[in-house]
Structures are given as structure tokens and as C-alpha cells.
A and B are shown apart, each in its own frame.
Chain A
Amino acid sequence: MSKLLLVEDNEMNRDMLTRRLQRRGFEVIIALDGAQGLALAKSESPALILMDISLPVFDGWEATRRLKMAPETKSIPVIALTAHAMTGDREKCIAAGCDDFDTKPVEISRLLAKIETLLQKQASP
């Protein structure tokens, strides 16, 4: 099953999402901040990255920007998780290079659909 990288600093959110994704059969690796997320993306080459936006060290926008600049990670799809779907967030996501975004609290079925779509796109480019 696919390996997902979850970059999230909040312990409860991390735990919750990890468990729910694992229950659906994903392998989930965890990063606590932007820098760690970047490092793990490079070393573990996950199939997809779920990126929280407010992160320590550097935030999700910055992490995504750097991911998309590095040749070895730029093809990994990134789904940004924002707190509140504010107008303008969509533009920001696309500008930063995210492939999709979703709002927290995560509605698991919607998120799963987005993950599936991106993974399928990845598999058959």
C-alpha cells in the first residue's frame, strides 16, 4: 500500500489522522515540522504528502515551495491542509505549488477521495 508523509505539528491531529489513514491501509510516516518534512520527503520518497500549513521552523507554504524546487521531490503530490477555507487560500495553495488542498477538520471520506485521485494520476501520468 502507498506510503504517505504527514507533516503536522499538533499531536492530536497527527495521531488522529495517522490512525484513520492506517486503518484504511496506508503506511504513514510522520514529520513534526517543515524541515523534518523536507528531509523525510527526500529520504523516504513517499507517494503523497499531507502538509499542514502552520508549522514550526518553516511553514507549509515554504516547505512546499522547497519541495517543488528540488528535482528529487518535485513530482510528489502535495495536499495542503488549511484550518479554515478562506478565500485566497486556494490561490495561495496553487501559487505555492500544492496539488490540492483540504480544510481541517478533515472530512475523512473527502480527503481519501482526493488522495486516491492524486495517487491514480501519479500512477498513470
Chain B
Amino acid sequence: MRAFRQTTIKRKLIALIMVTSGIALMVAFALMIVSEYVSFRSGLVRDLRTLADVMGTESRSALDFDDAEFAAKALAGLAATPNITTAAIYTKEGKIFASYLRDNQSEPPPTTPSAEGYVFKNAYLTLFRPGYLNLFHPIMRDRERIGIVYLQYSLQEMNARLARYAGIAGAIVLGASLIAFLFSSRLQRVISEPILSLAHTARIVSEQKNYSVRAEKRTGDETGFLIDRFNEMLGQIEEHEKELQEVNEQLVQSEQRARAGTQAKSQFLANMSHELRTPLNAIIGYSEMLQEEAQDSGQESFIPDLKRINRAGRHLLELINDVLDLSKIEAGKMELYLETFDIPNLLEEISTTVKLLVQKNSNTIEVRCPANLGAMRADMTKVRQALFNLLSNASKFTNHGKITLEAAREASSSNGDWIVFRVSDTGIGMTPEQQTRVFEAFAQAEASTMRDFGGTGLGLAITKNFCRMMGGDVALTSEPGKGSIFTIRLPTEVRASEVELEAESKSIAAPPTVEGKTILVIDDDADTREVLERFLNRKGFHVECASSGQDGLRLAKELHPAAITLDVMMPGMDGWAVLSALKSEPELADIPVVMLTIVDDKNLGYSLGATDYMIKPVDRERLAEILMKFRDVPPPRYALVIDDEEPARELLAQILEKEGWHVIQAEDGLSAMERMEKHRPDLILLDLMMPKMNGFEFVAELHKHDEWQSIPIVVITARDVTIEDRVRLDGYVEKVLLKRALSEDALLAEIRDLISVCMQRKQRTQNKPAGLASTAQH
């Protein structure tokens, strides 16, 4: 039963029809045979009784006269009835009077008129035994029984006839079943085909995510109804999909608008701050200059006013710089430049810088820092600025007091070590309400504070942002009148950004492969070299560095790296000279060179033979992407694009060329074959519908050549690919892509993916026998 449930609907239908019609036929025949048997039997009994009656009448006088011989003679007449095997006449008392045996095999009559325990009484007695019918019939005269006739009838003939009947019935059942099978195999399609086509459509939908296909409705029955509902459902999904896409597009658009807005804002701020700074520079500069000149010419009474102008100008400048910093933080443009530095040194340096500021309000400063505190890794400029902001804040709000700067290491079990900086003062302190607002931009404790104490009100907001950027935070405890304590906690090892964190965790998940060849970094700046080396190492590259053009050339010859990144601005031999030298050496000319420069001079770069050109600051992810292409793919690679439509061919050629392929084009299978004789491609993109030699013929032809069997083939076709087609292509081609089922972008992405999959596999199987690479994948 389980096997039946698993079988196809086609077989189920045939089986149902066959079983039903077979049972009906068999029942009919069985009934017929039974009725035939019954009517035959009753006819037989009737006939036999008539015969017995005749026999009785004939032997009446013989019994009267006790003439057994006469009776026997009468019985002998039964020889004309072949089925009577035994006959006898019994006397009134039940003794055998005369008997007849058809031959010596015939069973003798029973000695008394009884059989199988049944004893003859008065009426007649019929008895069916296997193979025989026995009949006892009274011989009557004037209502008095004077004897009994016994007849035994052989049922052989009847049984034979029944057997013949059964045989004919069986044959008819068989024949009818055969006809039923033939009819049902054709008729089941009426039901199974719409269901199968529905299933096929469902598969296309789920495999290709194409919701625009519809199942064809051929019948008005329940299947038709099902197909209608299925199509309705698809319609709804398609609509949803469309809505989703629209919403997505809107989202992307609004995101772009938002990003453009932020960019415009940042640009505006950058421009504004430049525009503001220029006249401000003049104010600050001229007021300073006038101070000098006033001093020289003895007009010292001007000096205090000139100083005020100068101070106001510097304050304004500070404000502008802070606003710019804050807007950069907001726009996410603030970057971290991580370096390892000694903490006691930094504190020493800061305390010197703020000394004047601290002394202004008659305060003293104390630095408490264990001499063996050691180093941390963070953005030193930002740590310095954060501490400076806190210290200048403390100096402003403290009079005749003490300011303490402390630093300590704090061990944490889970997230590694922390460095804690603490700036405490004995100043005016803050109320809890003031404390909640103090880290907000433009929110000094009170609006009047700015007037009394100066400052931009942005320092603490910037400090907080800097600390957060480095994975730490700043906290505050304070009491009005007693002073404030600001505490900065930073990780001992700050990690650059979330992007890098992600990259790092990825690289942990997939440890760098050593497969990739060396990347040579040529840059005179040690920082840049270090940043690039660390980043590229994380991405799985092996990196060698050269600090000058000459060194770079020497290392290039020694290592023959997979790719070179080349700085343009270098002392001595600059990047352009190195690039020219590389390209003029035949053994080095094919190494891809990525120029890294702050100067946008792409044309010069490309004309000198650079493979790519990036403007500093370098987008590191993109650099890694570019280098990934050169990692271990030996150029050049050839792709053969076969399509009779020129635009389609051109489009594919463009994509491939962008990915670094050499493209050979052919307009049909025949000319493709010719091209292949000249140059064996590493990849074939194949259309199916073409004149002269179509795609199927081409694939078949290709597989007659052993040396071509391992070339991956991707079929890109506009025609409907039937299951039969797929079977024809299966095992020969990598994948079948439908031109219209996919958007152009999706098609491009698919092709790109396939190319890289094919190439990777090619790399892996390079040393293995050809043919392995052609294993089909779906």
C-alpha cells in the first residue's frame, strides 16, 4: 500500500481503472457461471425424473410378473443415454430386482435404495455426489408404490462444460483487461497531465523564483479549478513581489537621498568652515601682527584691545573646528588612526600642554600614573584631545583648587584589559540635572556658563564620541560645590572599526589560505606600509614590503609577486618610474600593478600600464577585492562566447573583459569549432538557438574531442528549456541560464559567480586528469 501511495498518479489511475473493471467482469462471469450451473442442474433433475418415470412405466409389468429379465432388457435400453452409468429397479421391499451397468468401471447400484445415509422413503430422492447425480424414483400404480427406479448420472459432461465456460470467461476477462489497460493509459492523461503540468510550473516557480509564469488550464473540472487558484496565488505573489521591490527601490532611493543629504551637509560644513576660517585667519593674524608692531612703535595702550580681538578670534576658530569635528563624527567620516604609544609619556606631554591653562585660575595639577603602566593601542590624537578637553573643562570650573589626572590598568575577565583615565577637580561641580545634559552638544550646564567660562560647549560631546569610537566610554560623578570626576575607559587594544571587526571575525572563521601568492607593497611611508600589510594579511595575502622604488624593483624580480601596490609619490625613484621599469622588463611586465596615490592622474597611470588606480585615502575593502582577482589566477584566460545575436555577444564579452578575460566571439557552432581549433578557451558561454550548428549539436560535437571535454560550458538561452533539453545537456554543461527569466543584473551576477566557481575548480583540478572539471552542478 505504501508503495502504491508513492507511485505516480499515472500508474495509480491505470491501476484503479484496471482493478475496477477486472472486478466487475469477474463478478459478472461468476454470477453467469453459477446461474448456468443451477439451471443446468434443475434441468438435469427434471430430465432424469422423466427418464426414471419412463423406465418405471416400462418395468411395471415386469414387476407384476416378476420378470427380471424383462426389466433388465428395459434397463439395457439406457445404453442410448451415455451419461447414465448405472441403473437399477428395486422391488417394493427394497431389493434389487434388475440392474444395469454401463461398463465394468461403473459403480454397482446400492443394495438397498439408499445412498450416503439418505434412505428412500416415498417421494423421489436426488443426490448430488462428486461427479455423479443419483436418483431414486418410485414406480407407482394406483397410488401404490410397487418398486423403485435408481439412476446414476455422470456429471463429467456438465463439469467439462462448466470448465469450458470458466476458461472462456477467463479469456474474456484477460482480453477486456488488456483493452482496459490500453484505454486507461490514454485516458488517464486527461487527469494526470494537467496535474503534471501544474507540478512542472510549480517547480519552475520555486527553482527560478519566477512568478510571472502561469499554469495552463485545459479542463473545467477540479484540476482546472486548482490551476485557477494556483495562478491566482502566483498573481498575488507576483504583486507582492512587485510591491516589495517597489518599496525596496523607494528605500534605496530614500537612503541615497539621505546619504546625499548628509554628504551635502558635510560638504556644506567643510566649505563653510573654510569660508569662515579665511577671514578669521586674517583677524587673528593681523591682530597678532599689530601687537608686535604696537610693541615696536611704543603704542602699548593698544595691546590689551588687540589681545581681546585675538582671543575672540581664536575662540571662534576653536568653535568652528569643534563643529567640523562633530559633523565629521555625525557623517561617520571621522577615522581612527591606531598606533601603539606609551601612556606615561602621553600624560606627561598633556600635563605640560595644559599647565598654563591650569595656572590661569590659580589651580595646581597632579599626575598620578604608575611608571610601569606601559603602552596602549589607540588613536593617540583622539585620546590626547579627549583628555585635553576634560582637563581644560576642569581648569575652567575650578578656582584655587586641585586638578588630578590619573591613569590605571583595569583587568577584565571577558573583554581583555582596559585603561582607565580619571580627571578630577575640586571645582563647582554639577547638579544631577546638569550632569544628564553635560555630554550633549551645545548644552553647557547652563546657558550662561558659556558667557562666564568660555568654551564651545562641544568639548564633552566630542570627547564622548571619540571614546565611543574607540570602543570605550566616558562617565561622570559630581556633587555641586565639591567637584567633578570624569572617567574615561578605553580598551588596551582598540580595534579600528566595525568593518574591520567584521573582517577580523571573518578571517577567524575562515583562516587565511596560503594558496595566494605574494603581494608586494611599495611605499616609502612606513605607516602606510604597516597598515596595508596588516590589512592584507588579514585578508589572507602574503605581503612583502619595499620602502623605495629600487627596493621594489629588486623584490619584484626576486619574488615575482601576484600583484604590486605602488605608491606614486616616493623620494628618489617615484611610482611612475617604477611602473615604467616594471613594464619594460618582459618577465615582470605581466604582474598587475595597482597604483595608490593621492593624485588623480588615472590616464597617465593606465597609459604606463597600471592595472588599476586608486586614490588615497585608499578604500581598503576595494583594494582587497582588486587584489583578490590576481591572487592565483594565471593570466591570460580565454572565453569563447557563442551567440548569433551580436548585441548579446557584445554584452557578455564586455562583462568578461571587465573581469580580465580575453574574449573570442563566434556567431554559430560551426565557426565556434573553427575558432576552438586555433585557441582552446577556458570557458564557453553558449546560446542554444543558432543557425548552421545549434547549441545541442555543438555540445555533442565538443564531446567527441577528449581535450575539450573539461572546458566548462554555461548555456545562456532565450528559448524554453524543456525537461528533454535539460536531459540532453545534463552532464555536459555547468548550468543553463534563461535570458528572459533573469534580469540583466541578475544574469550578470550569475555569470560572474559561475565564472569564479569554474575557475576555482579549474585551479583545484589543474593537476588532476581532465574531465573531472566537467562534472555538472545544479
- Mark A residues whose CB is within 8 Å of B: 10, 12-13, 16-17, 19-20, 23, 54, 61-62, 65, 68-69, 83-84, 87-88, 91-92, 94-97, 104-106, 108
Contacts and interface: CB of A to CB of B under 8 A. Distances in A.
A54 to B, nearest CB: 7
A23 B292 contact: yes
B289 A16 contact: yes
B282 interface: yes
A13 B321 CA distance: 19
Given A61-B598, A105-B285, A87 B574 contact: no
A106 B285 contact: yes
12 contacts: A12-B281, A20-B285, A68-B571, A84-B273, A84-B321, A87-B335, A87-B381, A95-B569, A95-B598, A96-B569, A105-B284, A105-B317
A95 B289 contact: no
A96 B277 contact: no
Interface in B565-581: 567-569, 571, 574
B567 A95 contact: yes
A84 B277 contact: yes
Given A91-B527, A92-B598, A19 B289 contact: yes
A84 B277 CA distance: 9
A105 B288 CA distance: 11
Contacts of A69: 574
B292 A92 contact: no
A97 B570 CA distance: 7
A61 B324 contact: no
B775 to A, nearest CB: 50
B525 A94 contact: yes
B754 interface: no
B183 interface: no
Nearest to B572: A74
A125 to B, nearest CB: 14
Given A16-B289, A105-B317, A97 B571 contact: yes
Contacts of A106: 281, 285
Contacts of B598: 61, 92, 95-96
Interface string B326-343: 000000001101000000
**Interface range for B:** 35 or more
B7 interface: no
A96 B381 CA distance: 22
Contacts of A105: 280-281, 284-285, 313-314, 317
Contacts, number: 81
Given A16-B289, A84-B277, A97-B571, 8 more contacts: A61-B598, A65-B568, A68-B571, A83-B274, A84-B273, A84-B324, A94-B525, A105-B285
Contact of B281 (A20, A96, A104): A104
B3 interface: no
B719 interface: no
Please give me the 4 A-B residue pairs with the lowest Cβ-Cβ distance, nearest first: A12-B282, A16-B285, A105-B284, A105-B281
B371 interface: no
B618 to A, nearest CB: 11
A16 B569 CA distance: 32
A95 B525 CA distance: 7
A2 B231 CA distance: 88
Nearest to A104: B281
Nearest to B310: A105
Contact of B599 (A12, A20, A62, A104): A62
A105 to B, nearest CB: 4
B416 interface: no
Contacts of A62: 599
A83 B525 contact: no
Contacts of B568: 65
Interface string B278-310: 111110111011001000000000000000000
Specify which of A10, A12, A17, A105 lies most central, judged by the most chain B CB atoms within 10 Å of its CB. Answer: A105
Contacts of B381: 87
Contacts of B220: none
Contact of B569 (A10, A19, A20, A65): A65
B616 A92 contact: yes
B403 to A, nearest CB: 25
A20 B335 CA distance: 36
Most B CB contacts (10 A, CB to CB) among A19, A62, A69, A91 go to: A91
A58 to B, nearest CB: 10
A68 B576 CA distance: 13
A91 B525 contact: yes
B528 interface: yes
A20 B280 contact: no
Contacts of A10: 278, 281-282
Contacts of B288: 108
Contacts of B285: 12-13, 16-17, 20, 105-106
B617 interface: yes
A35 to B, nearest CB: 16
B407 to A, nearest CB: 23
A13 B289 contact: no
A95 B616 contact: yes
A106 B313 CA distance: 13
Interface string B539-560: 0000000000000000000000
Nearest to A12: B282
Nearest to A61: B598
Nearest to B600: A62
A124 B569 CA distance: 25
Contacts of B279: 12
A88 B599 contact: no
Contacts of B337: 87-88
A108 B278 CA distance: 17
Given A19-B289, A68-B569, A13 B282 contact: yes
A88 B337 CA distance: 8
Contacts of B567: 95
B599 A61 contact: yes
Interface string B593-628: 000011100000000000000001100000000000
Interface in B326-372: 334-335, 337
Contacts of B317: 105
B24 to A, nearest CB: 92
B135 to A, nearest CB: 128
A84 B334 CA distance: 14
B183 to A, nearest CB: 85
Contacts of A61: 598-599
A23 B282 CA distance: 18
Nearest to A74: B571
A61 B599 CA distance: 8
A71 B314 CA distance: 41
A23 B289 CA distance: 10
B282 A16 contact: yes
Contacts of A12: 278-279, 281-282, 285-286
A97 B289 contact: no
Nearest to A83: B277
Nearest to A10: B278
A68 B575 CA distance: 12
A94 B569 CA distance: 9
Interface in B404-463: none
B180 to A, nearest CB: 87
A110 B334 CA distance: 27
B251 to A, nearest CB: 32
A13 B274 CA distance: 13
Contacts of B335: 87-88
Contact of A20 (B289, B313, B525, B597): B289
Contacts of A91: 525, 527-528, 616-617
A65 B599 contact: yes
Interface in B360-403: 379, 381-382
A108 B282 CA distance: 13
A95 B569 CA distance: 6
Nearest to A19: B289
